[in-house]
Amino acid sequence: MSVVSQPLNIAVLTISDTRTLDNDKSGDYLSEAITSAGHTLIDRTLVKDDIYQQRAVVSKWIAENQIHAVLITGGTGFTHRDSTPEAISVLFDKEVDGFGELFRHISYQEIGTSTIQSRAIAGFANNTVIFCLPGSTGACKTAWEKIIASQLDVDFKPCNFVKHLVEA
């Protein structure tokens, strides 16, 4: 992958009741992918699958003008503890409906009908784009490599999200 010509500041949040930062392979993958692409990993943290802890972290990040994007991994399934879509979607000013649709379409080619159990979503809040991804490293890799990386690259045509994130 090539390095972006306009680096963005990106934060990573892992949602998990069982992982720690020491064994968070999905968060590790996203952090490495971000920096390998030439972006800056501005913050990274892990919280329990609790809607108020999630909202507290993400609200802080979207209030800070220097954070352009937030990648959240985990909490998008159907267990009683999975609450990321409910926690984060209320913060959106606008939803990016096409992200979840495209993610599930691409994921179908990899995992078949199991993709219907993904509640991956994205949206904008205060000129920050937020992507909520499943907790598996494979899903994070699919989302980053096949969707997110290009949308966070100012040189990707015909359009990308960068102009919505960075003041001209």
Strand-strand pairing, 94-95 and 121-125: antiparallel
**Helix (H) / strand (E) containing 31:** helix 25-36
Residue 129 has pLDDT above 90, yes or no: yes
The full set of domain ranges for the chain reads 9-165
Q: Under CATH, which architecture does the 9-165 domain have?
A: 3-Layer(aba) Sandwich (3.40)
Q: Are 125 and 67 in contact (CB under 8 A)?
A: no
Question: Does the structure show a pLDDT above 70 at 168?
Answer: no
- Residue 130: φ, ψ to 5°: -125, 125
pLDDT at residue 167 greater than cutoff 80 = no
Residue whose tokens read 């979207």:
62
pTM of the model: 0.96
Q: Is residue 92 within 8 Å of 72, Cβ to Cβ?
A: no
pLDDT band of residue 79 (cuts 50, 70, 90) is confident
Residues in the chain: 168
Token pair 């503890």 is found at 81
Task: Say which residues have a Cβ less than 8 Å from residue 35's Cβ, sequence separation at least 6.
Answer: 41
